[in-house]
């Protein structure tokens, strides 16, 4: 099994490299942007994104990119903060988000599920935890793409 990681931050990649070395894991780490993943179409059997879509400026584009690099029948696994299903908690989230969006571009009330469904992925598992504040979902890419090299333009 090969593990590939991507992050915008060289500092986070350095931490990931240190952790992988301490665990004696072979990893392939890349500095890059979730809006334009530096991989060919249909490269991966699985794509995992945890607690990141709440900070990515265009989560729809990021999920589309994850889907693009996912092979036909591959698994997309997302875990993230979402808007609570408990109304008083949702109100509190929105009040906190009023500040976090302005300071850190941190959104707590996004719903990755909406982007996954809009792209035609088939959701196979979905769990909401912690008063509906966190969602984990797994979806299969039923479409897939034939592998083609990305343009270097």
Q: 47: which strand partners?
A: 76
Q: How far apart are CA 117 and CA 8, in angstroms?
A: 26
- pLDDT band at residue 145 under the 50/70/90 scheme: low
Range 39-140: architecture per CATH: 3-Layer(aba) Sandwich (3.40)
Q: How far is CA 105 from CA 50, 54, 57, 114, in A?
A: 17, 8, 8, 20
Instruction: Domain ranges for the chain, please list them.
Output: 1-32, 39-140
9 pLDDT more than 70: yes
Read off the pLDDT band of 38 (50, 70, 90): very high
Which one has a higher pLDDT value, 74 or 105?
A: 74
Distance set, CA 96 to CA 33, 55, 89, 92, 121 (Å): 26, 15, 10, 6, 31
Distance of CA 1 to the CA centre of its chain: 20
As a whole number of Å, the end-to-end CA separation of the chain is 31
Q: What is the mean pLDDT of the chain?
A: 89
Q: Provide mean pLDDT across the span 127-135.
A: 86
pTM attached to this predicted model? 0.84
Give the pLDDT band of residue 140 (cuts 50, 70, 90): very high
CB-count exposure of residue 102 (10 Å: 0-12, 13-18, 19+):
exposed
* 92 Cβ contact partners less than 8 Å away, ≥ 6 residues apart: none
pLDDT at 101 over 80: yes
28: β partners: 4
**What is d(CA 120, CA 115) in angstroms, rounded to the nearest whole number?**
9
Report the largest interatomic distance among the alpha carbons of the chain, rounded to a whole angstrom: 49
* pLDDT at position 144: 60
Rounded to whole angstroms, the Cα distance separating 91 from 108 reads 11
Report pLDDT digits (tens) over 117-126: 999 999 999 9
pLDDT at 114 over 60: yes
Report the pLDDT value the prediction gives residue 23, as an integer from 0 to 100: 94
Q: Taking 50 as the threshold, does the pLDDT of residue 148 lie above it?
A: no
pLDDT class of 17 with cuts at 50, 70, 90: very high
pLDDT for res 46? 97
Looking at the predicted structure, is the pLDDT value of residue 108 above 50? Answer: yes
């Amino acid at each position: 099994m090969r593990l590939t990681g991507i992050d915008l931050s060289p500092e986070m990649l350095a931490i990931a490299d240190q952790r992988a070395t301490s665990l004696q894991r072979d990893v392939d780490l890349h500095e890059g942007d979730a809006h334009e993943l530096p991989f060919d179409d249909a490269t991966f059997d699985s794509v995992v994104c945890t607690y990141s879509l709440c900070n990515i400026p265009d989560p729809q584009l990021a999920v589309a990119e994850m889907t693009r690099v996912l092979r036909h029948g591959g698994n997309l696994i997302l875990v993230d903060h979402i808007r609570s299903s408990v109304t008083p908690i949702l109100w509190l989230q929105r009040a906190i988000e009023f500040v976090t969006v302005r300071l850190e571009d941190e959104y707590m009330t996004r719903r990755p599920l909406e982007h996954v469904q809009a792209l035609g992925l088939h959701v196979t598992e979905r769990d909401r935890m912690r008063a509906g504040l966190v969602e984990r979902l797994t979806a299969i890419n039923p479409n897939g793409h034939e592998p083609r090299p990305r343009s270097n333009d």
